Amino acid sequence: MALPPPEQPPASPPPILWTSAPADAGPVTVSSSGPGSLGARAFAPAAFRDVVVDAVLELEAGGPDTGYGLYFRQVEQRLYLAFTVTPDGRSAVFVVEDGRPRALAEGVLPADAPFARGMGAANRLTVIAAGPSITCLVNDFVVVGVIVDPRFKAGVAGMLVVHAGTTTEARLALRWAQVRAILPDQR
């Protein structure tokens, strides 16, 4: 299945360091409308090198195969990295080149991972990108670490939902997010 590129960063994004809209304004959401499609939203147009991307996400609509998570180090529209989980407890780290995903690591989350399964369950996903090393966490539990090639030194970060299965829509809600440069002046 080919993943479409995340949308371009919004023209007027919230300021960095970015957090979600106030609770009374409701959550920020992204949707995808058909199987094989992707919905995404950049947290800000800034490209970060060494960064921590941290978000509490909730899949509001979709199926057990619907992936949701974070994309980061988006170098071009169709060239980026992504960390996703599914409601049934699978995770993957992908490199997406020309819109086509290639898994760097994938599997079922360990039984002792503190992962809230199912639709409507909120989970905190964190990506720590330092140099070529990428570490991915779910609810502060280290899931996987990978090394990436030099093309991914810096890039835009955001949230994404990958529609799979037969449901009519996949919708992801952002409850809270923050993008932090590890060292000052690394934007």
Cα-trace Rg, the chain: 15
6-17 pLDDT per residue, tens: 444 333 333 444
Using an 8 Å Cβ cutoff, are 105 and 90 in contact? no
Using an 8 Å Cβ cutoff, are 172 and 58 in contact? yes
**What is the pLDDT, as a whole number, of residue 137?**
96
Q: Which residues of the chain have pLDDT under 50?
A: 1-24
23-181 has which fold? Jelly Rolls (2.60.120)
Whole-number Cα distances in Å, 78 to 24, 52, 81: 34, 22, 10
**What is the pLDDT, as a whole number, of residue 45?**
82
**What is the pLDDT, as a whole number, of residue 23?**
43
* Token pair 């990436």: residue: 148
**What is the pLDDT, as a whole number, of residue 91?**
96
> How many CB atoms are located within 10 Å of the residue 103 CB?
10
**What is the pLDDT, as a whole number, of residue 21?**
39
Question: pTM for this structure?
Answer: 0.84
Q: Order of strands, edge to edge, in the sheet holding 133-138?
A: 28-32, 170-181, 51-61, 122-130, 133-138, 141-147
List, in order, residues 6 or more apart from 130 with CB less than 8 Å away: 50, 182
